[in-house]
């Protein structure tokens, strides 16, 4: 059924009905009616109340069918027992969308779930859109529409802004809205989704990406209905230059667990979600207030910073020292100033203070004029400074000096994070910044967390590379059987995609294995061939560095005796040397498709926990970025006297492996090349396994 209304018409309707309207502000419907009138909603407002013909000076109707012209949107504040019938009546009357704030549905048990299914069926059959149930509604300040029952709307104004907020928690949405109002931050649209029986997060995300008035988007997410759609919308937001910042719950891993695959045990649902978000430029925040404050700063400073250094200004030596420690602990960089900047600061400050961080208490004694604004201006002008952090303690002329710093921030074109650490003593400085229209923080820890989000946004944009170009000469798809593939079958598929693999000879018996070893040349590796053994080293199905045929025969007989009918034959392989063991893995995520994993450690990859994920396929440049993000990345570049390794060959192998996985498509369960041994000359896959859908 074709939807009756667009998302814009739902968010900015010309007429609204309130089912359950009342004179009492103690009731949901009464608060909504009062606030819609108080805040000046300019459209047609239609109260629905069985016992009243007039409410707050407006004509009221006993039910929605009695309204002469169907309103575009209706908000339903009725008990669950009355709700389904009311929604059917609204659909028959021609209402375009219903916002259902009633609770007691799928979140409440089987009976509620059945009622929720009825609601979904009404939407599908009629084309009437439904937001909720179990939501808090909508707040659209520029449309003067507080279509929401929250008490936080009992305020004199609805501050407008350019931030779109979508939340799967209604109570959290209104709390964030209220905190932002206190901070002087306004919103374009605020949407509470509830149970997403019909309208879901992507409906509104796609709209906000296209909406010219929305400049940044904040999300509170518990789960996604359509991961692929979300990824497309996030990538569209990145292309439109609109930052997307998200707080996600469910971060602890309760996702995929499998004894069959290192990749499955590491690339669980949240890890994949993070990788997809990172690849699309979505920033993960830990706190919703930090999310909104950072979005506000990104709107004010839309051009991404190439410089990543933090310049610190403080009126306290202690504040400067703590700020330096925290900047480093958060993984941010303290800006290294140029000699020219240090010399310029030396005209104003004593030598120990004429560097980053600046302690304003170190002013040269012969200077009579206030240097606050000028010192900050010179610091921020340094090319290495991307972000300014100002830590202000109480001081003489507090408000005036804070104003100077605010004016410098506005003129610099760089984000400046002003932290006012005193309590009521800083009320004057807060008022000065409010007059300038500048945000501030009451604790520099809050300032640092917002700065971390802004810096992460800049870094992600810089790291995003062009889509992976398919290397020439690849087959259309890997030739792998359904079910469990043997190591030999996996390595043949890798070799067909241009990935170097260890030479091997297959043998049916221990005696044949000994003869094969003589053909390869010693030393050799012996492995049992079996579709039923996932990790050969765990069960004694691998013997390394065998020096002669007798050793091969003995090892093969030992494996046959210990493993019995698990052994289908033997693989004799060249002994490959390498300075680093890399695991390459990929799995098919049910929401986001194929993801590729790169990590150090081989069989110890879970223990080390040093891995990176990305949606497949990846380019060699993206593969390099994944490698450089690993803690042990220095081992690839010759750490502690070791030789520099063949990183270019490794990046090429990672990219080609990602195409193997991507080309398997929906057949893929998971696949690994583990380990890939990397030396100074080459990167060679010496083992592999795969599981394909049957």
Tens digits of residue pLDDT in 10-41: 999 999 999 999 999 989 899 999 999 999 99
User: Strands 569-574 and 137-140, how do they pair?
Assistant: unpaired
Domain extents in the chain: 307-463, 503-574, 580-692
User: Strands 160-167 and 187-192, how do they pair?
Assistant: parallel
**The domain at 503-574 falls in which architecture?**
2-Layer Sandwich (3.30)
Look up residue 37 and give its two tokens. Answer: 């009138």
Cα separation of 269 and 255, whole Å? 5
The CATH fold of domain 307-463: Rossmann fold (3.40.50)
Q: Which residue has the tokens 């690993």?
A: 630
pLDDT interval class at 3 (50, 70, 90): very high
Q: CA angle at residue 363 from 357 to 366, to 5 degrees? A: 155
Q: Which residue has the tokens 């604004």?
A: 373
Average pLDDT of the chain?
92
Gap between the terminal Cα atoms of the chain? 36
> Helix 288-300 to helix 444-463 angle, to the nearest 10 degrees?
60
Q: What is the pLDDT of residue 603?
A: 67
What is the average per-residue pLDDT within 635-658? 92
3-state SS assignment for residue 12: coil
As beta bridge partners, residue 561 has: none
Cα separation of 603 and 102, whole Å? 52
Q: Which of 517, 529, 536 is nearest to 574 (CA)?
A: 517
Q: Which of 570, 526, 562 is nearest to 544 (CA)?
A: 526
Q: What is the pLDDT of residue 110?
A: 82
Cα separation of 352 and 360, whole Å? 11
What is the average per-residue pLDDT within 553-569? 95
pTM for the full model?
Answer: 0.90
Query: Which of the following CATH numbers is that of domain 580-692: 3.40.309.10, 1.20.140.10, 3.40.30.10, 3.30.470.20?
Result: 3.30.470.20
595 neighbors 622 (Cβ within 8 angstroms): no
pLDDT interval class at 260 (50, 70, 90): very low
Model pLDDT for residues 659-683, shown as the tens digit of each residue: 999 999 999 999 999 899 999 999 9
Q: Kindly state the percentage of the chain with pLDDT values over 70.
A: 96
Cα separation of 151 and 155, whole Å? 9
| Minimum mean pLDDT range among 233-247, 352-366, 518-532, 675-689 | 352-366
Q: What is the pLDDT of residue 295?
A: 98
Tell me the C-alpha to C-alpha distance, in Å, between residue 372 and each of 68, 366, 431, 432. Answer: 66, 15, 18, 15
**What are the residues whose beta carbons fall under 8 Å from the beta carbon of 340, sequence distance 6 or more?**
none
- What DSSP designation does 467 have? P
């Amino acid at each position: 059924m074709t939807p009756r209304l667009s998302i814009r018409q739902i968010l900015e309707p010309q007429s609204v009905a309130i089912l359950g309207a009342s004179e009492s502000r103690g009731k949901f419907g009464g608060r909504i009616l009062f606030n819609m009138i108080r805040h000046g909603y300019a459209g047609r407002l239609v109260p629905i109340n069985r016992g009243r013909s007039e409410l707050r000076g407006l004509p009221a109707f006993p039910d929605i069918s009695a309204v002469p012209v169907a309103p575009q949107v209706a908000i339903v504040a009725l008990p669950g027992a009355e709700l389904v019938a009311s929604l059917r009546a609204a659909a028959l009357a021609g209402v375009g969308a219903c916002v259902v704030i009633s609770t007691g549905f799928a979140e409440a048990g089987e009976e509620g779930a059945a009622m929720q299914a009825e609601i979904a069926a009404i939407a599908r059959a009629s084309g009437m859109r439904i937001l909720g149930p179990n939501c808090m509604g909508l707040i659209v300040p520029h449309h003067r529409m507080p279509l929401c029952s929250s008490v936080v709307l009992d305020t004199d104004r609805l501050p407008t802004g350019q931030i779109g907020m979508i939340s799967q928690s209604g109570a959290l949405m209104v709390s964030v809205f209220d905190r932002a109002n206190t901070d002087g931050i306004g919103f374009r649209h605020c949407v509470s989704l509830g149970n997403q029986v019909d309208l879901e997060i992507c409906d509104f995300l796609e709209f906000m990406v296209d909406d010219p008035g929305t400049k940044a988007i904040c999300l509170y997410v518990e789960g996604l209905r359509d991961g692929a759609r979300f990824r497309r919308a996030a990538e569209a937001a990145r292309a439109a230059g609109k930052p997307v910042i998200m707080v996600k719950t469910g971060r602890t891993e309760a996702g995929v667990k499998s004894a069959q695959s290192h990749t499955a045990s590491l690339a669980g649902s949240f890890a994949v979600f993070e990788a997809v978000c990172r690849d699309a430029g979505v920033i993960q925040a830990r706190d919703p207030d930090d999310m909104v404050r950072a979005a506000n700063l990104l709107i004010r400073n839309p051009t991404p910073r190439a410089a990543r250094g933090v310049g610190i200004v403080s009126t306290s030596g202690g504040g400067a020292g703590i700020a330096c420690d925290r900047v480093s602990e958060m993984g941010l960089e303290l800006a290294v100033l140029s000699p020219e900047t240090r010399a310029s600061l030396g005209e104003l400050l004593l030598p120990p203070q004429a560097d980053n961080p600046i302690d304003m208490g170190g002013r040269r004694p012969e200077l009579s004029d206030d240097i606050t604004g000028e010192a900050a201006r010179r610091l921020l002008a340094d090319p290495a400074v991307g972000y300014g952090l100002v830590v202000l303690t109480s001081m003489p002329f507090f408000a005036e000096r804070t104003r100077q710093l605010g004016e410098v921030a506005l003129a610099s074109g760089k984000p400046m994070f002003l932290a006012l650490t005193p309590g009521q003593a800083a009320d004057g400085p807060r008022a000065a910044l409010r007059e300038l229209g500048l945000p501030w923080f009451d604790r520099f820890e809050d300032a640092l967390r917002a700065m971390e989000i802004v810096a992460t946004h800049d870094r992600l944009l810089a790291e995003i590379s062009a889509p992976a170009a398919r290397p020439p000469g690849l087959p259309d798809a890997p030739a792998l059987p359904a079910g469990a593939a043997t190591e030999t079958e996996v390595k043949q598929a890798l070799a067909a995609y241009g990935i170097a693999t260890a030479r091997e000879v297959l043998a049916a018996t221990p005696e044949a294995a000994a003869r094969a070893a003589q053909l390869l040349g010693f030393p050799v590796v012996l492995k049992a061939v079996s579709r039923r053994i996932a990790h050969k080293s765990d069960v004694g199905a691998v013997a390394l560095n065998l020096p002669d045929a007798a050793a091969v025969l003995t090892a093969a007989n030992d494996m046959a005796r210990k493993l019995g009918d698990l052994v289908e034959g033997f693989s004799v392989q060249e002994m490959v040397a390498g300075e680093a063991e890399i695991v390459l893995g990929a799995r098919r995520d049910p929401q986001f498709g194929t993801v590729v994993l790169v990590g150090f450690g081989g069989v110890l990859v879970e223990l080390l926990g040093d891995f990176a994920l990305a949606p497949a396929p990846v380019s060699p440049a993206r593969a390099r970025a994944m490698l450089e993000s690993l803690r042990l990345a220095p081992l690839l570049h010759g750490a502690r006297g070791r030789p520099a390794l063949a990183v270019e060959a490794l990046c090429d192998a990672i990219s080609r492996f990602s195409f193997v996985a991507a080309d398997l498509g929906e057949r893929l369960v998971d696949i690994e090349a583990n380990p890939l041994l990397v030396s100074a000359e080459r990167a060679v896959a010496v083992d592999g396994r795969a599981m394909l859908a049957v």
